[in-house]
Amino acid sequence: MKKFLALMAIAVFLPFMGYSDDTDSQDVSITFSTINDLEVSSGTVGILVATSSQGLATGTDASTLLYAYSNDAFVKKITASIDTDMATGDTLSLLVASYGTGTPVNTSLSTAVAEIMTGIAASSATTGSTLTYTFTTTNAQSSAINRTVVLTLVGST
């Protein structure tokens, strides 16, 4: 009977005696989604046409700053378009001052998408680039003209 009680005691207490802690491990994989960030410092740009030269009226605004960032491995470009084409004789153009890795392109804006900056290096930021809008017209204008400019950061092809 003593042997039986001893075996019972061992069977009951054995799981709690002398075993080491149980451990396990996991591999953690960290991946990054592509981040493309394009921002301008002002939502509204005002151009006052106040000069004229030989029938061509011109106004310029260079108060908007551009910030572009991408974290992926592809060269980027910035494109622009407007919501409604300009009237015949009117031209709205946009020039991005070169800053960092991009190459600016002076572009007349229309509803067709056009490049305004190319060659933005992969995994880089372009900050502080001035956007200069210029409006020229050969038309007699008496009312305000409003256009929405859409800027897009895309991969270069």
Domain positions in the chain: 36-137+148-155
146 φ/ψ angles, rounded to the nearest 5 degrees? -120, 135
The whole-number pLDDT of residue 106 equals 83
More confident residue, 8 or 23: 23
Q: Give this prediction's pTM.
A: 0.70
Cα(67)–Cα(126) distance, integer angstroms: 6
DSSP state letter for 40: E
Residue 40 confidence (pLDDT) above 70: yes
Asked if 77 and 38 count as a contact pair (C-beta separation under 8 A), the reply is no
Q: What is the mean pLDDT of the segment spanning 87-114?
A: 83
The whole-number pLDDT of residue 4 equals 65
SS3 126: strand
Residue 50 confidence (pLDDT) above 80: no
Cα(25)–Cα(153) distance, integer angstroms: 41
